[in-house]
Amino acid sequence: MTRTLILIALLAVTGGAQAAAATPEFHTAACSFTVPEGRAATCGTVTLPENRDRPNGMTVTLAIAILSTPGQSGDAPPILYLEGGPGGAAGLDPDGIARWWDLIARNDWLQKRRLVLYDQRGMGRSVPNLTCPEMVEAQIRANSPEGGDITGTEAVAAAGTCRTRWEAEGRDLTHYTTVDSARDVADLRLALGIDRWVLFGSSYGTRLALETVRRFPDGIAAMILDGVYPPGTNLFTPSEEDDPDGDRSLQRVFAACNADPACAAAYPNLGDRYRVLMEKLDDEPPTVTVDRPDGGGEAALMFTGGMLAEVVFNDLYSRDDAATLPALIAGIDADRDEAYEDAARQWLASQLDPTIANGAYDLAECLAPDAGDARTAVGSTCPAWPAGPADDLGSQPVDSAIPALILVGGMDPVTPVTWARAAAAHLPNGFLVERPDEGHGLIGSDPCAETLAGRFLDAPDRQPVDACQAQPDPLRFVVNG
């Protein structure tokens, strides 16, 4: 994830004179995490105008960490990571940074390059962090025995309360869009004094990378697009139960279970049982009481088919989590208390995830030119937020000759293979790699994809190839006794 800010290149007319453009500056600060032996880190911030048409108004401050390996980092272009979500934090906290040190330790292509991490405007450790606890609590209340299903009116009211709170602090919420963040990326490069770098986007971060390439291509040496979310698409579905890509991914898990002797024997006819179970839970949802992970006491939840669908959908992101789904579904089908409680805790954890700024998510999605049905659909919070700027360009495909490695998992429930192929069709120097037995976001979970990323960066003009691509890696299901 990345961050930086602004060339304030506005015309401030004073007596007819044009004001000089201000160069964005990187201000170093102490890192909030421990640096392992043999590694180095430089942390700091870049402050930019919230609205570039008002350079003397409110600002956003982007939190940045630059990780490196002394003695190995050479002249190769640094890598800028763009987190997904939208609204996701890049992992600049002590817990989140651990995965980056692990990734660097097992990949020499990261040891040879500086890795720039940053929290995008509106999220993570950047200021402001546009979180909306009102929306989270409304969702939890709606799934309580007294709440019933949340209606569009209740969802919009909760988002509206959050909007009012942030606007009372002087925030212009129309400037937390993908285009604003793309401008931040361009200015961040200048603030850090980097001539050329590689954009590494994951999930929504791929959309930010593509938008940056479209509008501010200077200084971009190459792209790694991992789980592609291209312009012209949107993430909105009325419910996880009605999501075709999630269902496609789930059917692949069921088929893989049927093909695995141990899984098939332990959990026969799992697909049919799942459909019946969903109907049963919607008709007669049990109440499940679990502790809130934020220390807020207990939460009593109606465990509906919709709640189970959300848990299943989230588990499909990771092949390791997907491998536990047959056991989880079968446990709930058998009315095991521990299975209900496990799933309810997963659902609560996703709602209360402190690394996601849900207000920033809404703004990036609802103000996008391709928001489509999300603006008017029942259950959408988009009506609570201000209208986004007119931008016909932002919904069009991105055509670019910049070299790109495009990674996608065949079981990805949220950014399907079809999206990756559509983006690749407009990138003549792009190399598409499909990993059939993987989920969402390959780098960090698929060693083969990490190997291919290194080969691509060493030779971005050639299709990366490795023997690992020919080795099948089927799901290894967790089978309970």
The domain tally of the chain equals 3
Residue 57's Cα: distance from chain center in Å? 29
Which is nearest to 347 in space by CA: 399, 285, 391, 392? 285
pLDDT at 3: 32
For residues 72 and 194, state if they share a domain: yes
The 10s digit of each residue's pLDDT in 187-207 is 999 999 999 999 999 999 999
For residues 434 and 369, state if they share a domain: no
For residues 347 and 364, state if they share a domain: no
Say yes or no to pLDDT of 4 above 80: no
Mean pLDDT of 265-283: 96
| CB 207, CB 221: distance < 8 Å | no
Say yes or no to pLDDT of 243 above 80: no
pLDDT at 474: 86
Show Cβ contacts of residue 272 under 8 Å, excluding neighbours closer than 6 positions. none
Residue 8, in any domain of the structure: no
Residue 391, in any domain of the structure: no
**Between residues 242 and 93, which one has the greater pLDDT?**
93
pLDDT at 472: 79
Residue 155, in any domain of the structure: yes
DSSP 85: T
| CB 62, CB 27: distance < 8 Å | no
pLDDT at 11: 23
How far is 250 from 245, CA to CA, in rounded Å?
9
For residues 37 and 110, state if they share a domain: yes
| CB 62, CB 126: distance < 8 Å | yes
Question: Strands 220-226 and 59-68: what pairing?
Answer: unpaired
Say yes or no to pLDDT of 262 above 70: yes
Would you place residue 358 in the very low, low, confident or very high pLDDT band (cuts 50, 70, 90)?
very high
Would you place residue 406 in the very low, low, confident or very high pLDDT band (cuts 50, 70, 90)?
very high
Residue 315, in any domain of the structure: yes
Say yes or no to pLDDT of 434 above 80: yes
For residues 216 and 332, state if they share a domain: no
Say yes or no to pLDDT of 350 above 80: yes
Would you place residue 6 in the very low, low, confident or very high pLDDT band (cuts 50, 70, 90)?
very low
Say yes or no to pLDDT of 365 above 90: yes
Mean pLDDT of 348-363: 97
Residue 476, in any domain of the structure: no
For residues 258 and 335, state if they share a domain: yes
Residue 13, in any domain of the structure: no
Say yes or no to pLDDT of 355 above 80: yes
Edge-to-edge, what's the strand order for the sheet holding 79-82? 26-29, 40-49, 59-68, 115-118, 79-82, 197-202, 220-226, 404-409, 430-435
For residues 84 and 203, state if they share a domain: yes
The 10s digit of each residue's pLDDT in 108-147 is 999 999 999 999 999 999 999 999 999 999 999 999 998 7
For residues 84 and 105, state if they share a domain: yes
Residue 145, in any domain of the structure: yes
For residues 99 and 220, state if they share a domain: yes
Domain holding 82: CATH number?
Answer: 3.40.50.1820
For residues 81 and 163, state if they share a domain: no
Residue 144, in any domain of the structure: yes
Name the average pLDDT for the chain.
91
How far is 130 from 357, CA to CA, in rounded Å?
6
pLDDT at 481: 57
For residues 177 and 212, state if they share a domain: yes
For residues 282 and 331, state if they share a domain: yes
Mean pLDDT of 163-171: 98
Whole domain around residue 346: which residue ranges? 240-351
* Radius of gyration in angstroms for the set of CA atoms belonging to the chain, rounded to a whole number: 23
